Structure 1
Amino acid sequence: MTGGAGNAGTGSTGVAIADPIIAARSTAVLEANWRKSHTVPAAGLYPHQWSWDSAFIAMGLARISPRRAGQEMDALFAGQWDDGRLPQIVFDPHRDQEYSPGAAFWQSRSIPGAPASVDTAGLVQPPNHAWAVWRIHQADPGESRRRSFLQRNYPKLLQWHAYLSGRRDRGNSGLAAIVHPWESGTDNSPLWDTAMTRVPADCKTELKRPDLRHADPGERPSQKEYGKYFWMAERYRDHNCDDADTDYPFLMEDPLFNTLLAVSELALADIAAELGLPGTPHRKRAKLITAALEELYVPELGCYSARDVTDGSVIRKATINGLVPLLLPGNAHADELLATLNGPRFMAGNALLVPSYDATAEDHNPALYWRGPAWFNMSWMVAEALEGLGQTDQADFLRGNIGRLAVEHEFPEYVDPWTGAAHGTRSFSWTAALALETTYQRSRP
């Protein structure tokens, strides 16, 4: 890999590494999961390129090889649609039988506006991409400028954000709506339970579930849930993914998704400034999204939640999605969010990483996907937020556990928040990338 983990505790940029062993083992996972132009999330369970995975992976890769991190994003942008959307998945045509729904399900090349040169899904994922592009540039500004990295990607990011702020503002609230649980990145989160009761499970597609060859059924969404997921995907596909289906049953405004949109608008402001363009419009847009998110704050939970666009109701459930707005500068509820983070719903009880769902809830399950376990990317984002708030000791605590648990358990997809027991698949790329990122010591004022 270009720009390896370095020797004697330093990386290719000369930045000190907190733990060279973690750096070396993380790099090995990323090297094994590299597919000439991009990184797969996991070789067996996820054999294609996933959108927000690639952005997280690129943030870690940028520490050792900004060029490869840039290639990661270039491969993803090759799948961008004419309307600006960045697809949830860019498919490897040679691996279509190993994941469902695959390219044969989506038939994207028959949908107007989809790219003609690659097969993609029609859905999207959370917009952490501008954030990743800016971090890649920061890792090696000289290399970035030589390759015109920002100049090439800024217009694509503008199109992506315009799509989300335009066609996806289904509630006319200033927030982007997701049209499928897969778009949230938190597939079976309790936030979607009520909306999912409106969705039929009688999909037309045969549910083969190749995922169960690589993960225990007790750690994955159920067959009934998958029937509903496929029903929605079929309906969205059969409407040419046009976002104009007035009777569509699942439209949710997610605090995680919209926080990352605001964070990426702030990154776009920095990118614009680097290119000699005005960054003020992006900062204004970030403030508008932050203000709109206020409608999703639930005082009795001490965190944000999701809103159902179909009836305007805000879900009364505390999840990790509702803590991620700590990333937003000047968040009016930072003190309350910190109290919730450190209270019985999440980190109290000596948690090692942040649970994905309220630990006091009767249906909390520390082994079941997004219904209780801790995910490395979520704890990493919380650590980033804590760093920004000056809570460096707690940020370092989470970062230390990210690296330690990743290496101890062969880079698992997710873990039990209190015991650290591994769940899901292993050699998971964003776990490796973010463990790698945390090993690099940050300079602090």
Structure 2
Amino acid sequence: MDFTPQQAILELGDAFYDPVHAAKFPKTVLRFRNDRAAASVGLDGLSDARWTAHFGRFEPLAGSLQQPLALRYHGHQFRVYNPEIGDGRGFLFAQMTDDRGRLMDLGTKGSGQTPWSRFGDGRLTLKGGIREILATEMLEALGVETSRTFSLIETGEELHRGDEPSPTRSAVLVRLNHGHIRIGTFQRLAYSQDTENLTRLTAYVLRHYFGEDGGDDAPQRLLAHVAARTARMAARFMAAGFVHGVLNSDNINVTGESFDYGPWRFAPTWAPGFTAAYFDQSGLYSFGRQPEAIYWDVMQLASSLRLISEEEPLVAAMEAFPEIYQREVATAMLWRLGVTPRGSQHDRPLIGAIERALVETDTPIDRFFFDGFGGTLPESYGEPFAELRALLAAYEPRKGRDHPYWSDPAPCSMLIDEVEAIWAAIAHADVWSHLEAKVVAIRRMGEALA
């Protein structure tokens, strides 16, 4: 498709962002370009030189934003409200329309300091960028709506970090998102009692991300959309065995698209208490508590919208979240298992049986879905899976096992030891082939599941 630039964010006005400049990096070495994502927005035809000019030196894309914008927001961070945050090491670089007709953003990570950097250097470690590539590629293949890592460019600075060996290499990352409006964007306006801009933002989100006009009932319609989208995101996290790690309200996109990957992990087994972040000592964002955490964040949106809406319709929108989540988690898990849902009265007992069997046996999540794809478990899955096998017999496969992936000896996984091994090859020997091969393997799995 042709590149179709947009500047929709400017409709909101300068109360929502700060114009900024990208850092000047010592060098720009292209390490990853996502031509599959670029094709969806008409940018796959760029030469490597032009790619680096736009996504390493941030020369504007014709017709889109002519200066980067650091977005303003607040948020609850581990349930503590913080009014001092915003885009501190990133900015909105460009907007455009994708091949599905959606408004898309190109946002950055590690592009330099902004008014919201506080004491940070505004930079990203190369390891952090590689981890984001792996997270987004894996989640996309597993059916999770996610930002897509668009570009990673090494920048030649030595960074010092307290939680990993330093000095370490630096990079700037560009991600393709269906918007960067967060729950925290609304919280900031509610904090300052800015009802005029709260109403403007509500109309903007409805118009550009949900295709609806504003009106007196706009706040409750918006909340209903966000509740439904984020319930689906929570469900797909669970089916993927994914732990985001930092589900703060400033990290929840109102489109329900997962983004911003820091201390993420994929859980080896169905362990509800499994955490991704070493600093999450209370397990607030553990694997099994993610739906609760996301629901709590959406409640903060409801609280913010209370300034421009009656309470009762907002309560009704929130009350729909648990039912939507239950339906979506069944859909997501059965999709990964390769069978067709039969309806909630049939699907919920099956989902319960899956969870019980996985917890009881410590069966690896990826192995279970790989072996059972198409609806038939091998005989090696013994007595703890008897109930599950009986329930599964009534389901029709949605897809066969004819893709060569299903003949592999083991599933494609993304556990922490492999992440560290991929990084070690780059850090110690500048060997990138393991990362490249892993991206190919993940996309091959995605083809088999799709």
Q: Give TM-score, length-normalised by structure 1.
A: 0.28
Structure having the higher strand fraction is 2
TM-score, scaled to structure 2: 0.27
